[in-house]
Chains A and B, each alone.
Chain A
Amino acid sequence: MTQEAESVAATVVVIDDDPSIRESLQSLLRSVGHKVRLFESTQHFLLGEATQAADCLVLDVRLPGQSGLEFQRELTKAGLVVPIVFITGHGDIPMSVAAMKAGAVEFLTKPFRDQDLLDAVQRGIALERGRRAALDELAELRQRFATLSPREREVMALVCAGQMNKQIAGALQLSEITVKVHRGKVMRKMQARTLPDLVRIADRLGVAAPKA
């Protein structure tokens, strides 16, 4: 039951051409508290706004028109990263290997155990949430970085490149005191508590020292 509490408000998208399978999956997923959106084909899914809201896709491999595996490739190419759980009537090994290599969360053969599907969906949701959290954090860091003055950015880059205050003062032709002041402001504005903290942030933002 803890699982249900965790997964509140997660949206699972089910794409299967068989209405009966769709409805059964909807019922199962709703019974553990997921929100479920049903689509009969990938085209219908892409037309709607659900592409943004989906935390996890449950996808039949054998679909009319575009197959599940092709759809997976297309999504990856378009940069739309959504965790996918594949279900299939008759999965062969090469097919499942291809799907897993392309980043599928799980590959289940019908009829599957409900717990297997729910676990896979849960893993997909966790992946998606982790990815979103990381994206949010990055956006936040970018905002903080935007508040730095040009001089502060230069100081930050050199600090993170491992230079001492004295060296930085020499490189920027500033007094050592001034460097110390800039450095304090950088730490405060970037909300970094320690030097390693700041280095990690710089690394994520891709801030590099200008060539001396």
Chain B
Amino acid sequence: MVGPPDEPRLLLSALPPDRAQRRLAVTVALSLVVALVAAAPFAARPTSGTESLLPAYSAAVLVNELITAALLIAMFSVQRSRGLLVLAVAYLFSGLMVVPWGLTFPGVFSATGLLDAGLQSTATLAAARRIGLPLLLLVYAVMKVQGVAAHNPSNPIRGTILATVATTLAVVCAFTLLAVWGNALLPRWMADTRNVSAAWHYVPPLAIALCLVAAAVLLWTRRLSLLDHWLLIVLLSSVIEIVLLAYLSGGSRFSIGWWAGRAYGLAASSVVLLVLLSETVQLYARLARSLLAERRTREARLAILEALSASIAHEVNQPLGSMVTNADAALRWLDKPSPDLEEARLALRRITNDGHRAGKVIESVRTMFKKQRQERVALDLNRLIDHVLKRSMANAELEHVTVQTAYDPNLPSITGQPVQLQQVVANLITNALDAMRPSRDRACRLTVTTGPGGPGSVMVSIEDSGEGLSGDIKQRIFEPFFTTKPEGMGMGLLFCRAIVERHGGRLWVDDGATQGAIFRFTLPADDEATATIKSEEGS
């Protein structure tokens, strides 16, 4: 079984929109339509001298779409959902195509356009862009329906991104070359530099159809994320743009309707960017809040631990101090020129009493923990681990870590204290994530495996792909107060081992096959565990 047990509901591409966000999207959609109706009567009126605005327009679209693509790629590298990569390609392609389109536009940089463009070059590029974007959005929608979201973790993420960007760039270059040099082969889209011919009339309906199909597929998935909602707005905006450009403007360049269409194009290119940016800021604030909360709980836990250990230390130190002083006194009585045996005997008797007293302190601490032992229940370790993993998933995602699980479906149940065992698993997972933090550039992988662990016991392995443990650290890692973390107490693994051993199991660490470390623990499978508890309670 590969992949996260459940998609984390933290990132934009997975987050369901709340009511306010949905209402905002509907409002934007309605105002787009209203603006279209308002612009319609003037659409066919031509303008003059507005060619000079086109470079500025192209630059704005280019920058918007490149930033959007970059943000989507960043999201892909975190979330590894192929759908996001397709979206990023859509924006990258659309943004890059604007460059040759603007350069070759007749009457903008030169009368016939730069790059030795012919009459049909610009229209060819426009057609490719016009059809390419909805086509890629359709691919995204289809992928979403099929649920093939996850990226294969064996492919290095950086390579995938580089290959995708390079391919997109190559395709754009190929289109440009075709448009510039293959002028003779191109369909006759344009009658002159301003007006389209009959051949063009196939392009807008095709583009509109693709937009509508993509929107329909998206709507059909029913599990629309926040991002999907805004993609619908983009599609609507694109449709309006085409309607204005192709029909209301009468197919004439630089008319009012044509420019209005361009405005919709700009809106379409900005919507996702704005949403991504605003959501990123909000997400960041939410993250900061949850981090603070986590730190507070951690501090509270530390404070309790500190108070507990201080009071135990005091209780034990008291008889200890008394014993040392009594022993010193006894030695002094014996070392006298005429040894005072009676005084020495009294001092020694007090030492005996103090020893018993210290023993009682330890005993009372033990009984405090023993009480919890009675709360043991039969447990399915797979479910317990899955539960803990789900809670740690958000962290893992943000740390760029791929989580792999291999649960043994025939795993026998065990008997134990659920909260304590959850703590063990959570602790080991946190350690694994921490261990991989320095090597974030590599593909980081956390592997959790359950299976049989020798006769009558089960084994859980938690493997990371971090730096691994040097011999010295490996020797000392279970010692109290030994830690490699700047804020660590050096108690986590000690507690883990204590809990596992109290359950009749073992906890140890092995080197990973190629890199990293594997923490393994065994627990007695059910029948045996109950027997152990009974024999312990009897003694």
Known: A110-B320, A111-B320. A31 touches B325 (CB 8 A): no
Bound-state Cα–Cα, A28 to B336, Å: 12
- Considering only residues 43-59 of chain B, those with a C-beta below 8 Å from chain A are none
B322 interface hit (Cβ, 8 Å): yes
Contact status A18-B318, CB under 8 Å = yes
Q: Collect the chain A residues with CB atoms within 8 Å of residue B330's CB.
A: 27
Q: Max chain B CB contacts within 10 Å: which of A25, A31, A87? A: A31
Nearest CB on B from A114, distance (A): 3
Q: Collect the chain A residues with CB atoms within 8 Å of residue B310's CB.
A: 90
Contact status A90-B313, CB under 8 Å = yes
Nearest CB on A from B338, distance (A): 12
- Considering only residues 4-23 of chain A, those with a C-beta below 8 Å from chain B are 18, 20-21, 23
Closest to A1 in B: B337
Nearest CB on A from B311, distance (A): 10
Nearest CB on B from A128, distance (A): 22
Taken residue by residue from 83 to 113, chain A's Cβ proximity to chain B (1 for < 8 Å, 0 otherwise) reads as 0000101100000000000000000001111
Bound-state Cα–Cα, A110 to B325, Å: 9
B328 interface hit (Cβ, 8 Å): yes
Contact status A24-B347, CB under 8 Å = yes
Known: A20-B357, A27-B346. A110 touches B321 (CB 8 A): yes
Bound-state Cα–Cα, A148 to B336, Å: 53
Known: A27-B343, A27-B346. A114 touches B328 (CB 8 A): yes
A32 interface hit (Cβ, 8 Å): yes
B333 interface hit (Cβ, 8 Å): yes
Known: A90-B313, A110-B320. A25 touches B325 (CB 8 A): yes
Closest to A22 in B: B322
Interface bracket on B = 20 to 34
Closest to B346 in A: A27
Closest to B333 in A: A31
Taken residue by residue from 309 to 340, chain B's Cβ proximity to chain A (1 for < 8 Å, 0 otherwise) reads as 01001100111111111101110110010001
Q: Collect the chain B residues with CB atoms within 8 Å of residue A18's CB.
A: 318, 322
Bound-state Cα–Cα, A113 to B354, Å: 18
Contact status B333-A24, CB under 8 Å = no
B326 partner, pick from A24, A32, A113, beta carbons under 8 A: A24
Contact status A89-B314, CB under 8 Å = yes
Contact status B332-A28, CB under 8 Å = yes
B515 interface hit (Cβ, 8 Å): no
B321 partner, pick from A23, A27, A32, A89, beta carbons under 8 A: A89
Q: Collect the chain A residues with CB atoms within 8 Å of residue B325's CB.
A: 21, 24-25, 27-28, 111-112, 114, 117
Bound-state Cα–Cα, A87 to B343, Å: 23
Contact status B346-A20, CB under 8 Å = no
Bound-state Cα–Cα, A110 to B323, Å: 10
Known: A20-B353, A20-B357, A32-B332. A27 touches B326 (CB 8 A): yes
Known: A89-B318, A90-B313, A111-B324. A20 touches B343 (CB 8 A): no
Known: A20-B353, A23-B350, A114-B329. A90 touches B321 (CB 8 A): no
Q: Collect the chain B residues with CB atoms within 8 Å of residue A114's CB.
A: 324-325, 328-329, 332
Contact status A28-B350, CB under 8 Å = no
Nearest CB on A from B306, distance (A): 12
Contact status A24-B317, CB under 8 Å = no
Contact status A21-B318, CB under 8 Å = yes
B322 partner, pick from A21, A30, A62, A113, beta carbons under 8 A: A21
Contact status A27-B347, CB under 8 Å = yes
Nearest CB on B from A107, distance (A): 14
Q: Max chain A CB contacts within 10 Å: which of B310, B319, B322, B343? A: B322
Closest to A23 in B: B350
Q: Collect the chain A residues with CB atoms within 8 Å of residue B322's CB.
A: 18, 20-21, 24
Closest to B335 in A: A31
Bound-state Cα–Cα, A25 to B323, Å: 10
Contact status A27-B317, CB under 8 Å = no
Taken residue by residue from 16 to 52, chain A's Cβ proximity to chain B (1 for < 8 Å, 0 otherwise) reads as 0010110111011011100000000000000000000
- Considering only residues 54-88 of chain A, those with a C-beta below 8 Å from chain B are 62, 87
Nearest CB on A from B345, distance (A): 11
Bound-state Cα–Cα, A117 to B321, Å: 12
Contact status A111-B357, CB under 8 Å = no
Bound-state Cα–Cα, A25 to B326, Å: 7
Q: Collect the chain B residues with CB atoms within 8 Å of residue A23's CB.
A: 326, 350
Contact status B343-A31, CB under 8 Å = yes
Bound-state Cα–Cα, A31 to B326, Å: 11
Q: Collect the chain A residues with CB atoms within 8 Å of residue B353's CB.
A: 20
Bound-state Cα–Cα, A23 to B340, Å: 16
Nearest CB on A from B331, distance (A): 8
Nearest CB on B from A27, distance (A): 4
Q: Collect the chain A residues with CB atoms within 8 Å of residue B357's CB.
A: 20
A24 partner, pick from B313, B314, B329, B340, beta carbons under 8 A: B329
Nearest CB on A from B415, distance (A): 39
Nearest CB on B from A177, distance (A): 66
Bound-state Cα–Cα, A30 to B347, Å: 12
A90 partner, pick from B314, B336, B340, B347, beta carbons under 8 A: B314
* Other contacts beyond A27-B333, A111-B324, A114-B324: 11, CB < 8 A: A20-B319, A20-B322, A21-B318, A21-B321, A23-B326, A24-B350, A31-B329, A110-B321, A111-B325, A114-B328, A114-B329
Q: Which residues of A contact B (CB under 8 A)?
A: 18, 20-21, 23-25, 27-28, 30-32, 62, 87, 89-90, 110-114, 117
Give me 19 A-to-B residue pairs in the complex whose CB atoms sit less than 8 angstroms apart, sorted by A's number. A20-B353, A20-B357, A21-B322, A24-B322, A27-B326, A27-B350, A28-B328, A31-B332, A87-B321, A89-B314, A89-B318, A90-B310, A90-B317, A110-B318, A110-B320, A110-B321, A111-B323, A114-B325, A114-B329
